[in-house]
Structure 1
Amino acid sequence: MKLQFNLFPGGMSKALTMSYDDGQHYDIRLAGIFDKYGIKATFHLNSSMLNAPGFLTVKDVQRIFKNHEVSAHSVTHPHLERLPLPMVVDELLEDRKRLEPLVDYPIRGMSYPFGTYSPAIIAPLQSAGIEYSRTVSSTYHFDLPLNFMEWHPTCHHNEDIHTIWERFTLQGPSQKLNLCYIWGHSFEFERQSNWELIEAFCQKAGGHSNIWYATNIEIYDYVTALHSLKISADHTMIRNNSAIDVWVSIEDKPVHIKGGTTHYSHTSH
């Protein structure tokens, strides 16, 4: 049996996610653009800056991110790799404690402040409940990370996203999942007077029936469920013990395996 793990929800082979840092009040305009075109994003916030001049208010967070994910970015935006490890844990635990009541769900992801990190801080961050973290190292490709704690994006939004998007959409069927991951800061559009860049991109990228629009945590959870499938030695049974529906390719055809069910191939079941 030809079995491939190359499909997102709905049997789609491609996904798009956006990721924006720091929580300045320009996020309000950016979230509105994403909403207009049906694109989903993750916004990484420093909780100590909420209600500060030029930054989001607590009420903004509760109001504008209902279609998106709120994620951590530490309380005070330090270089985490330069801190004692207990302070690394404190930065993220406290950020979670301040943000979670605003969104009413556990916050499980982050992006590294300044994009800097070291291998030594990954385990402490995981002990603080962090399950993924985005870097600022552009890959210019569409692969899923081998380690979600070192999640390298495809590119920054200033790196010719239109050409990268064309390459992404023209790419044919693949044996693996394909994700276009774009990151940045909303204040950059204001500083560079180029809001039309993200508006034009979202107009082009939104509304495709063969692309899954997802937040960072939705992608993490789906891929985790997909990789957690239990498969019999002869490949005739695939058990999905998670609560998340997944899709796989069997003989190049999409197969939907609902959460908590077993898919049987070439049997009488």
Structure 2
Amino acid sequence: MPNIMMAFPQGKHKVLTMSYDDGKSADIKLVEIFNKYGLKGTFHLNSGMLGTNGRIPEEKVAALYSGHEVSAHTLTHPTIARCPKEQIIEEIFADRKRLERLVDYTVRGMSYPNGSYNKAIKEMLPHLGVEYARTAQSTGQFTMPDDLYEWKPTCHHKVDLMNVAETFVNLNKKQYLYMLYVWGHSYEFDNDHNWPLIEGFCEFIGNRSDIWYATNIEIVDYLKAFQNLKFSASCHFVNNPSTLTVWLQVDNDIVEVKGGSQIHLT
């Protein structure tokens, strides 16, 4: 039987994703920096607050975040673990509907407002069309998530970001998959007068051939596509019923399994 492991697109074994909350006007500058260096971001928005208190107006959302991901953050940013379930449902579902009207695609993820969640909320999310939710609890690690409804990032951008980036870039053991997940709020760069921090980070880590730059939902979709592969009992061939291409490391070879195809692995 061959030794088969999931790889990222083009056989890569490292992925970088960026995650920013609240949709303040500083997102404009942050998106420009991401675009300049080839990074992708997921931006979690409170649709009921757009256009207020320095937030991006509704009419600019689609164009600004094009090429990135717009994700939910609840309608009005309450501490949802303290709210009745009726309010939680309305906050999440109404946020999805408003955001989808603006971007014209299905909004399938969120980050927890104020980092607030509990087991009951996690259990609600699949029924509300939410496929992942990011916490505010950093791990300091480069591991893949084992619970997409309690997705813990690597670090906030304030926490020794350049040293974290250098460590990530130097990871080279291809028997592992590594994910660097950075989160924060773009307005913090204004407050802390440290835009050079994120620009320097993006310049250093961007446009590298061995890193997959992905949004949160792109990672989720890829993981699900891998999990949905149909291997023969002997693992000598595999069928990919998904529309996404999945890449595998088979012994020492990188193998591309295109969506809708069946291929022999040995």
Contact 1:5–1:177 under 8 Å retained in 2: no
CA distance in 1, matches of 2:72, 2:187: 18
Residue 35 of structure 1 aligns with which residue? 35
Task: Could you tell me which runs of 5 or more consecutive residues in structure 2 were left unpaired when the two chains were aligned.
Answer: none
Residue-by-residue CA offset, 1:213-245 (whole Å, 9 max, x unaligned): 110000100011111111111110111111100
Shift of 1:50: 0.7
Residue 89 of structure 1 aligns with which residue? 89
Residue 225 of structure 1 aligns with which residue? 225
Shift of 1:2: 3.5
TM-score (ref. length: structure 2): 0.97
The answer to whether residue 144 in structure 2 is matched with residue 144 in structure 1 is: yes
Residue 129 of structure 2 aligns with which residue? 129
Contact 2:2–2:236 under 8 Å retained in 1: no
Shift of 1:20: 0.1
> Identity of aligned pairs, percent?
47
- 1:107 maps to a residue whose letter is V
The answer to whether residue 15 in structure 2 is matched with residue 15 in structure 1 is: yes
Residue-by-residue CA offset, 1:90-117 (whole Å, 9 max, x unaligned): 1111001111011110000000001121
Contact 1:40–1:213 under 8 Å retained in 2: yes
- 2:202 maps to a residue whose letter is C
- 2:21 maps to a residue whose letter is D
CA distance in 2, matches of 1:151, 1:4: 26
Matches within 5 A, 1:1-269: 1-266=1-266
Shift of 1:175: 2.5
- 1:219 maps to a residue whose letter is I
CA distance in 1, matches of 2:119, 2:53: 34
Find the residue that maps to 1:152 and give its secondary structure.
Answer: coil
Bigger drift between 176-185 and 15-24 goes to: 176-185
- 1:171 maps to a residue whose letter is L
CA distance in 2, matches of 1:168, 1:119: 32
Contact 1:5–1:226 under 8 Å retained in 2: no
CA distance in 2, matches of 1:85, 1:10: 43
CA distance in 2, matches of 1:82, 1:127: 20
Contact 2:138–2:155 under 8 Å retained in 1: yes
Bigger drift between 178-187 and 118-127 goes to: 118-127
Bigger drift between 83-92 and 152-161 goes to: 83-92
Contact 1:245–1:258 under 8 Å retained in 2: yes
Find the residue that maps to 2:234 and give its secondary structure.
Answer: coil
Contact 1:138–1:154 under 8 Å retained in 2: yes
Contact 1:6–1:174 under 8 Å retained in 2: no
CA distance in 1, matches of 2:5, 2:86: 38
> How many residues align structurally?
266
Task: Could you tell me which runs of 5 or more consecutive residues in structure 1 were left unpaired when the two chains were aligned.
Answer: none
Contact 1:4–1:175 under 8 Å retained in 2: no
CA distance in 2, matches of 1:104, 1:262: 33
Shift of 1:206: 0.6
- 1:227 maps to a residue whose letter is Q
- 1:115 maps to a residue whose letter is G
CA distance in 1, matches of 2:20, 2:138: 14
